[in-house]
Amino acid sequence: MGLRAELPVVGAVAAGGALGAAARYGAELLAPTPEGAFPWTTLVVNVTGCALLGVLMVLLTERPTEWSSAPPHPLLRPFLGTGFCGGFTTFSTYGLQTERLLDAGAPARGLLYLGGTLVTALAAVWAGVTVTRAARVTAARPPGLPATRRRVRRPGSRPR
């Protein structure tokens, strides 16, 4: 594919990224982090963005169900995933805030932030994926059918 064919994707990522970055900046305006304090706002933004990305990837990439048989628009994933979630979450600020906590003589807080963000972000992605898959199965199940009888297959998985 040439650059010309990729321009709509670049535009979708840029537009989503602008909205995500504006949302992150808005979160910092609503709950600014004082110098040397634990960066709760960045932690919440990153964990929320990870959970949202988990939800979106299930909804946008896994096999459609009975209630959503049409595939999503091809620009929706770059707009929401790479664009919005990428612009909303911030690895560079996470790194800078960790360094500042360590440099300010707060190694325990710095290491707690470093490890805590990684653990909670991964847990948020897992929770987003798991809850969304469960919700899809429940929504797709006809009334009266036990929950153990109906499953949504992941791409590449074999039928049971």
Comparison of pLDDT for 84 and 65, the residue scoring more = 84
Tell which residue, 111, 121, 132, has the closest CA to residue 44: 121
- The Cβ-side half-sphere exposure at 130, using a 13 Å CA radius, reads 6
Q: Give the separation between CA 35 and CA 121, rounded to whole angstroms.
A: 23
DSSP 96-132: HHHHHHHHTT-HHHHHHHHHHHHHHHHHHHHHHHHHH
- Range of lowest pLDDT (23-27, 101-105, 129-133, 151-155): 151-155
Q: φ, ψ for residue 73 (rounded to 5)?
A: -60, 140
- List, for residues 76-102, the tens digit of each pLDDT value: 999 999 999 999 999 999 999 999 999
Is pTM beyond 0.85? Reply is: no
Count the helix, strand and coil residues of the chain and give each as a percent rounded to the nearest 5. 70, 0, 30
What pLDDT is recorded for position 2?
A: 79
